[in-house]
Amino acid sequence: MFQAIVIDKQDEQQIAQLTQLTEEHLPEGDVTVEVAYSTLNYKDALALTGRAPIIRKFPMSPGIDFSGVVRESQHPDFAPGDRVVLNGWGVGERHSGGLAELARVKGDWLVRLPDHMSLRQAMAIGTAGYTSMLCVMALEDHGITPDAGEIVVTGAAGGVGSVAVAVLSALGYKVAAVTGRTEESEYLQSLGATSIVDRSELEGKLRPLAGERWAAGIDVVGSAMLANLLSAIKYRGIVAACGLAGGMDLPASVAPFILRGVTLAGIDSVMCPKPERQRAWDRLATDLDMEKLRAMETEVPLENAIETAAKLLAGEVRGRVVVPINPSFT
């Protein structure tokens, strides 16, 4: 028997509860992992609260990522005792995920954890931090260097934003942190933000072409904020877009693209090819200040994950939420 959060449907209503399962409940896969830590991401919160149709198959254990130790493996790349991390691939949506003591998945979905990173650190980073690094890599691959100018990060006090601010700062970039929570200014400055931007400056009516303000950006909001952000990017700049907290629409003008050569780069962490995943995790092991990571963490036990999900969606949770499942593993 093992503990797991399970989401099921009763009379067309989603019900999430902590329960006991047997190994017979595990889905198909060639690697069984003893989960050490999981986390709560925005998508997990949507699934746990039923605010959006994240779960595609019922019953389902949510949790789009986890870190842990291989118990059994029929995959050639992994053996019992290997430390691994998983992000995406429909886990926690179509395939039971990380908010459980055991997970069975395809070995092709797993990434070997960098030697100098603990299992806890991996989930303090989580999908949010891994996505942040994919965004940073997109800016670098576009040729954006620290001397290009300030980089703007929206939703900066959230999981993706916090890691993005910390990583960019460590790499020598000046970072403008956008937030609607001015009380978080000191926290964002401690992560390395050089300026704080009230999100109201990027909300409201679209400005087809604003003054050139930032060299590049990382956006987790979408909708009107992304449109206004694009209009304020400098010539030949880039915005890496990875979220839709503000909506799925994009009421933008073509002006930034055809008059300034601005690039909009879509960042997908779910189906990202394995070599790029490994590159991102290896970079996180070297480019993220683990002291700053600790400042971002909030620990929530598995039994409190369901109630914490609503707080996360309400914007009441700062940084990253770590859910210890079997913390005896390191």
Q: What is the pLDDT of residue 238?
A: 98
Q: What are the CA-CA distances from residue 258 to residues 47, 159, 248 (Å)?
A: 39, 33, 23
Q: What is the pLDDT of residue 94?
A: 94
For residue 223, what are its two tokens? Answer: 């909708």
Cα(330)–Cα(312) distance, rounded to whole angstroms?
A: 27
Q: Is 178 helix (H, G, I), strand (E, B) or coil?
A: strand
Q: What is the pLDDT of residue 318?
A: 83
Residue closest to 71 by CA, chosen among 116, 101, 99, 28: 101
Low-confidence ranges of the chain (pLDDT < 50): none
Cα(230)–Cα(224) distance, rounded to whole angstroms?
A: 10
DSSP assignment of 267-328 equals --SSS--HHHHHHHHHHHHHHS-HHHHHHHEEE--GGGHHHHHHHHHTT---SEEEEESSTT
pTM attached to this predicted model? 0.90
For 99-122, write each residue's pLDDT tens digit.
999 999 999 999 999 998 999 999
Residue that the structure tokens 């992992």 belong to: 33
CB burial of residue 275 (10 Å; 0-12, 13-18, 19+): exposed
Cα(296)–Cα(293) distance, rounded to whole angstroms?
A: 5
Q: What is the pLDDT of residue 53?
A: 85
Q: What is the pLDDT of residue 11?
A: 79
Cα(246)–Cα(199) distance, rounded to whole angstroms?
A: 12
Please report the domains of the chain, with CATH numbers, ordered by start residue.
Answer: 2-113+300-324 (3.90.180.10), 126-266 (3.40.50.720)
For 71-103, write each residue's pLDDT tens digit.
999 999 999 999 999 999 999 999 999 999 999
